[in-house]
């Protein structure tokens, strides 16, 4: 059988045109002409802070003693004091409510995580049967508030 009469220029151009029409129609139907919308997944950086293990905090009120060499009052080791570092402990993973003022009735500013470290800036104050200290996170001055000493352990400065 001879196919030469069917393979002329007009038949080939018609076949190519029909194939192009089908390709454009198919791409339009499957959505190549509309822009793809990517889902908004956001970005969540992870921070890792190495914190030493907690130590026992005595329940007695600190009494400064005078260091004869310096002539300034110093606190015994393992005693919470202004300028010292403390770590949240004993919350069984629940975290500690850091409050706007000393006392259980004041507003919670934020929740400090178990083993999070803070610098002591003020205190002590007694309220509602607890001794309270004003704490500030060393990495973020906005994370600041009052915490009960029962859930704080003294840690060495970095």
Same domain, 139 and 69: yes
pLDDT for residue 144:
94
CATH number for the domain spanning 144: value is 2.30.30.40
Residue 115 structural domain: 65-155
Same domain, 147 and 85: yes
Nearest to 129 by CA among 81, 69, 59: 59
Does 49 map to a domain? Answer: no
32 vs 73, which has greater pLDDT?
A: 32
Looking at the structure of the chain, the number of domains it has is 2
Q: Percent of the chain beyond pLDDT 70?
A: 71
């Amino acid at each position: 059988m001879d196919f030469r009469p069917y393979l002329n220029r007009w038949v080939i151009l018609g076949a190519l045109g029909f194939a192009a029409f089908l390709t454009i129609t198919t791409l339009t139907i499957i959505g190549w002409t509309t822009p793809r919308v990517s889902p908004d997944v956001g970005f969540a950086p992870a921070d890792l802070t190495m914190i030493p293990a907690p130590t026992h905090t005595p329940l007695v009120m600190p009494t400064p003693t005078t260091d004869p060499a310096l002539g300034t009052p110093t606190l015994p080791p393992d005693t919470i004091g202004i300028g010292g570092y403390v770590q949240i402990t004993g919350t069984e993973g629940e975290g500690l409510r850091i409050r706007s003022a000393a006392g259980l009735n004041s507003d919670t500013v934020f929740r400090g995580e178990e083993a999070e470290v803070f610098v002591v800036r003020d205190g002590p104050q007694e309220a509602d049967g607890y001794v309270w200290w004003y704490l500030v996170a060393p990495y973020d001055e906005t994370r600041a508030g009052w915490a009960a000493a029962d859930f704080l352990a003294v840690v060495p400065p970095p």
